[in-house]
Structure 1
Amino acid sequence: MLHAMVVLPVRFERSPRLHPMLSEQPHAVGTKVVVQGKRGPEVATVRGEASEPHPSERYGAVLRAATPEDLDRWDTLHRAGEDLKWLLRARARERRLPVKLVAVEFTLDESLVTVSYSADERIELTSLIGEVRAHTRARVNFAAIGPREQAQMLGTLGACGRENCSSTHLQDFAPVSIRMARDQQLPLNPEKLSGPCGRLLCCLQFEHTQYVELLKNLPRKNAKVCHDGSGACGKVTKLHPLAGTVDVLTEQGMLVGVPATELRRAPDEGPKPGGDRGSKAPRQRDADA
């Protein structure tokens, strides 16, 4: 009896990214399967329920549920890859190659070995091919990866105390800009805004859309405003988007926190806050250093 093809999301060991694979039958979540991916046959884990394939999408294939023999061989190849990685690291140090060998991975049939590495500049690693071929007949592929991919593969702890997002749940590396930190009123301290990979924190993007919306209801920093109740006027020194308040330095030299809804623009500042804000971008231009 023929079964309708289904799509299963599977995850490889060194990445949280889910890869859709065509399968002749569904497999339970958590099942180890042998898949045919871009590099060749590998062992992966089913991480979601089966769904119907989309005609316009291209998929890899689930070949079968992994047998005990498959898992034993996969474990043996994993240990061989770890041993080879440490050997290559030693040889790279001997030859003073400015490179970090991150991972060495075999396909299940040992036809291909992928050496993932990180380097600050373009580097030639042909001198290491002989070292690899002395231990395996597999075809050798050197793959350069960036700092974020390196953190994803190795796994690190973030400033929050949890394992970094890139190795736990992120499916793609979305662009992260310093503007996101400004919009969230964060101190522009590179040490606090950078993750273990040395790049801007991926989590800055998670709440940015909400902050953009909240900032539409706040005056700009350094804007001159007056309080509706007291009539006191002053300059906005700090924004608190989540609370909907701003700090105002009054003309009398007092620093007060005021709800944005109780403020109006000073006579020389044009229209009242909230009355002329478009929906495209927040009006804030500066952030605390």
Structure 2
Amino acid sequence: MMTEQSYGVGQKVVVQGKRGPEVATVRGEAAPMPAGGRYGMILQEASADDLNRWAELGREAEDLKWLLRARARTRGLPVKIVAAEYTLDASLLTVSYSAEERIELSALIQDLRGHTRARVNFAAVGPREQAMMVGALGACGRENCSSHHLQEFAPVSIRMARDQQLPLNPEKLSGPCGRLLCCLQFEHTQYLDLLQDIPRKNAKVCVEGSGACGKVVKLHPLQGTVDVYTDQGLLTEVPASELRPQKDGGKPDGNKEGQGERPRK
């Protein structure tokens, strides 16, 4: 958001949304606006009239959402009506829906003709967008990021979980939407930096001083240590700075830079 006036966290404002003017709540400090972009720009502080009108439009849109759900059920349409939202000027009603297959929506559009003068737009949404609209609590006990502050969904991969040494348990790595947690990508760059100075898993290493050698079985990026299973059958946690790659024959290689494969950024 970009504006010359300062707005406090929690303050109600009118912003330029993707579809038109909307009432929004300030969540944090203003971020730089992309060149030529207007989406998210604060237009003005929301007045009492703006808030009353936004609340009235919200109630009307909620009634239309339930109307569409009932009509879809009556017509046997395999569609889930997720949300219905007006712009502040009431010129556009956006109906968000999800369906496993392509369906004909013309009948539902006709059902709305006698209930609103606004232009109607049906928009298909995925699981992440549904969680953003409906709202939910994350595993951390706080409101999920998508409905709190995220403006766009960045790609999230299982590699991010591996780099953070997290157990690959789908139940623990999935958010309320059933997809990989958005927060996995928040600290990914930091983990990549930490892993630069740590031997890769299964690397053959030797400990300086003791001369004990073995295989790296677990990484602790935040602590800067690894678990080494020694050739003597002992499991020990060792600072990465005290490790050297193992030469053929079981002796440490003095070249520290060969500690192992580095993760790709």
**TM-score w.r.t. structure 2 length?**
0.83
Once residues 232 and 13 of structure 2 are traced to their aligned partners in structure 1, the CA distance between those partners, rounded to angstroms, is 71
Q: Percent identity?
A: 69
1:118 matched to 2:98: yes
1:282 matched to 2:246: no
Q: What letter corresponds to residue 211 of structure 2 in structure 1?
A: G
1:231 matched to 2:203: no
Question: 2:159 is paired with a residue of what secondary structure?
Answer: helix
Once residues 148 and 171 of structure 1 are traced to their aligned partners in structure 2, the CA distance between those partners, rounded to angstroms, is 12
C-alpha deviations, 1:168-220, integer Å up to 9, x for none?
12232111111111111111111111111111111111111111111111111
Question: CA 1:89/1:192 → structure 2, altered by over 3 Å: closer, same or farther?
Answer: same
Q: Mean alpha-carbon deviation: is it higher for 212-221 or for 39-48? A: 39-48
Name the counterpart of 2:127. Answer: 147
Question: 2:258 is paired with a residue of what secondary structure?
Answer: coil
Name the counterpart of 1:286. Answer: none
Once residues 180 and 121 of structure 2 are traced to their aligned partners in structure 1, the CA distance between those partners, rounded to angstroms, is 30
Structure 2 gaps, min length 5: none
C-alpha deviations, 1:127-184, integer Å up to 9, x for none?
2112212311222110112221211111111111111111112232111111111111
Number of equivalenced pairs: 260
Q: 2:168 aligns with which of 179, 184, 188?
A: 188
Question: 2:257 is paired with a residue of what secondary structure?
Answer: coil
CA contact (8 A) 1:176 1:201 kept: yes
1:217 matched to 2:194: no
Once residues 143 and 254 of structure 1 are traced to their aligned partners in structure 2, the CA distance between those partners, rounded to angstroms, is 59
Structure 1 gaps, min length 5: 1-8, 10-19, 284-289
CA contact (8 A) 1:27 1:46 kept: no
Q: Mean alpha-carbon deviation: is it higher for 203-212 or for 263-272? A: 263-272
Q: 2:222 aligns with which of 242, 253, 257?
A: 242
Question: 1:267 is paired with a residue of what secondary structure?
Answer: coil
Q: CA deviation at 1:281?
A: 4.2
Q: 1:197 aligns with which of 163, 167, 177?
A: 177
Q: CA deviation at 1:31?
A: 5.5
Question: CA 1:108/1:264 → structure 2, altered by over 3 Å: closer, same or farther?
Answer: closer
Name the counterpart of 1:6. Answer: none
Map 1:247-266 onto structure 2 (within 5 A).
247-266=227-246
Q: CA deviation at 1:274?
A: 3.7
Question: CA 1:188/1:57 → structure 2, altered by over 3 Å: closer, same or farther?
Answer: same
**TM-score w.r.t. structure 1 length?**
0.77
Comparing both chains, which one has the higher relative contact order based on Cα–Cα distances under 8 Å and sequence gaps of 6 or more? 1
Map 1:46-65 onto structure 2 (within 5 A).
56-59=35-38
Once residues 157 and 132 of structure 1 are traced to their aligned partners in structure 2, the CA distance between those partners, rounded to angstroms, is 33
